[in-house]
Structure 1
Amino acid sequence: MATSYLGIPPSSPSFAGPAAFLAWNWFYAYGILASRTLKQIYGIDHNGNPRQDLNKYGAVAVREGKMTQAQLEQLQRMEAASANSIEAYTFFVGSVLLALVAGVPRQTVNTACTTYTIARLVYGAVYVLVSHDLYSQIRGIAWWTGNTSCLFLLWKAAHAPFKFPNA
């Protein structure tokens, strides 16, 4: 019997694969890409108004030697990557759920989820770690790849032979 990337049989009615992808991508967007821990390390985390920490305290931290200008810019890119990943997550969730409801084969859903996840990992890494204008273009390619996997799931859902339960 063939298996998917996760070891789940392609015809399995289990939601384990899609659920794992949804959970992982949520944790990645809201946890791993969150700048809070680094802001705490640099001493510029203020819970009273945390979204303004970099605007309000970033330049001061650079002047005081708590961080370099390059570190401040990396933190700014990290916050932008997190915000974009949170925004993209809703499209991902919607496309996965619609595909599951429409009866798109699990192997197809898992493949699209794998593509999305890899694209978002590349997107986040390039956004946070690459400041060079030319090389940062890889981020755009990763962004489009992730969104295309969601569009693919919507297309597959639109063409799935959906049958209402008990019909």
Structure 2
Amino acid sequence: MSTTSTLGLNNTSFWSSPYAVPAAFLTWNWFYAYCVLASRTPKQWYGIDHNGSPRQDLNKYGAVAVKEGKLTQAQLDQIQRVEAASANSVEGYVLFVASVLFGLIANVPSESLTTACTTYTIARLVYGYVYVFVPDDRWSQIRGISWWVANSSCLYLFWKGAVQG
């Protein structure tokens, strides 16, 4: 029985590739950092999104929107936390990409690579959730812990790749 599709693609080869799982993690974490945590959607929802200068929306229009009743101060604060979580996730994504690519080049065992990618992903999900939904200073410390866990998983891949060679 042939596993070749009508497009000539081998249906069984994708997940057997050593690059498939890292590629899936890289894709998911890109989508999470750049799309899920994007502040455009809530800013559009509350009518304070201005495409001419979107990075300045909250500074220029946030207080006015609260004063006009378009949103509450708590909602504005949450959108500001969304923007900060997004910016941090975009910044952290660079380290993640570098560590995954280094791990692949250095032939880090796939189990170690998958474990590090899974750890990073879960830690970043926790980080984003806590940043956006937990304004309390005491509980927000979980955000710092998850940040360190995510970055440590990247540093682990650098270390693992260095000792592989």
Per the TM alignment, residue 31 of structure 1 is displaced from its structure 2 partner at its CA by 0.1
2:112 alignment partner in structure 1: 108
Count of residues in correspondence between the two structures: 150
Mapped to 2, the partners of 1:107 and 1:137 lie a distance apart of 30
Deviations 1:102-132 (A, max 9, x none): 0001111001000000000000000000000
Runs (4+) of structure 1 exceeding 2 A deviation are none
1:7 alignment partner in structure 2: none
Matched position secondary structure for 1:46? coil
- Residue ranges of structure 1 left out of the alignment (5+ in a row): 1-11, 162-167
- Does the alignment pair 1:138 with 2:149? no
Contact 1:62/1:69 (8 A) holds in 2: yes
- Does the alignment pair 1:29 with 2:33? yes
Mapped to 1, the partners of 2:136 and 2:105 lie a distance apart of 42
- Report % sequence identity: 70
Contact 1:116/1:146 (8 A) holds in 2: yes
2:99 alignment partner in structure 1: 95
Mapped to 1, the partners of 2:57 and 2:112 lie a distance apart of 42
Per the TM alignment, residue 72 of structure 1 is displaced from its structure 2 partner at its CA by 0.2
Deviations 1:50-76 (A, max 9, x none): 000000000000000000000000000
* TM-score of the superposed pair, with normalisation by structure 2: 0.90
* TM-score of the superposed pair, with normalisation by structure 1: 0.89
Q: CA RMSD in A?
A: 0.7
**Letter aligned with residue 161 of structure 2:** A
Deviations 1:10-55 (A, max 9, x none): xx65211000000000000000000001100000000000000000
Mapped to 2, the partners of 1:28 and 1:74 lie a distance apart of 17
Contact 1:126/1:139 (8 A) holds in 2: yes
